[in-house]
Amino acid sequence: MELFGYFGALCIGLILGLTGGGGSILTVPILVYVMLIDPIIATAYSLFIVGTTSAFGAVQNYRKGLVDIKNGFLFAIPSFVAVYITRRFLVPLIPDTILEQPFLLTKSTFLMVFFAVIMVLAAISMLKKKKEVVETAGNIAISTLLFQTFTIGIIIGLVGAGGGFLIIPSLVLFAKLPMKKAVGTSLFIIAMNSLIGFLGDVQTITIDWKFLSSFTGLSIIGIFIGIYLNKYVNESQLKKGFAYFVLFMATFILVKELAM
């Protein structure tokens, strides 16, 4: 079982390298259901794994001229502030038992169900065509930009995922970035958000650095393999297939958590 989990770490990086995003959505389910790590700790570990792996991906995209540093910082500031606040203060404040009646809802179950909902939204985003993504973003007023990016940070902080499917439309609309540059810049933002959010966890939980380093190392290897293989695969078909897989995983999580 543990060996399968480490293979999953390689796949996380592989998918990130192949598609420019999406692989991080697998991190928490692998940590929770395969490596049997508590969901609260798993979301913290996911921030480190996603952040570090995305940083390597961002460096590769930067070398290709596909990272807009100025807009990256502009969009990252509200969101990484929200991620840090969420991990440092909000998550520890959530009670272990949220509801007892009419049904039992624990903190761990709440986080996993919320994560499954985010997975569904991510899958829907990946199934949309690029034009549809831009049109969706076009319905957002400029005055809501700071609120939106702050909200993205809260979501990232709660579920430990990268949030690229939320960041990319904003970069395309408000920063007027081409899609490929938006993806590269998104990895840069994800890296900052995730690693700064993880700093909030370092102060509240005990980190197994040996496990985290080895798991992250395999994910980094995966992203380099994915970047190399990217030119040999049909990206649109890959994203479509992965989106359906994410929907399947979200359904599995909902059934497992709510049927207990």
Confidence of residue 174 (pLDDT cuts 50, 70, 90): confident
Greater confidence (230 vs 94) lies with 94
How far is it, in rounded angstroms, from Cα 61 to Cα 42?
28
What's the whole-number average pLDDT of the chain?
A: 83
Task: List the one residue out of 204, 209, 196 whose CA is nearest residue 55.
Answer: 196
Buried b (16+ CB within 10 A) or exposed e, 129-167: eeeebbeebeeeeeeebeebbbebbebbbbbbbbbbbbb
What pTM was computed for the model? 0.79
Q: Whose structure tokens read 């692998």?
A: 30
Residue range 59-74, pLDDT digits in tens: 988 998 989 998 888 8
Confidence of residue 132 (pLDDT cuts 50, 70, 90): low
Per-residue pLDDT at 256: 86
Per-residue pLDDT at 171: 80
> Domain limits of the chain?
2-258
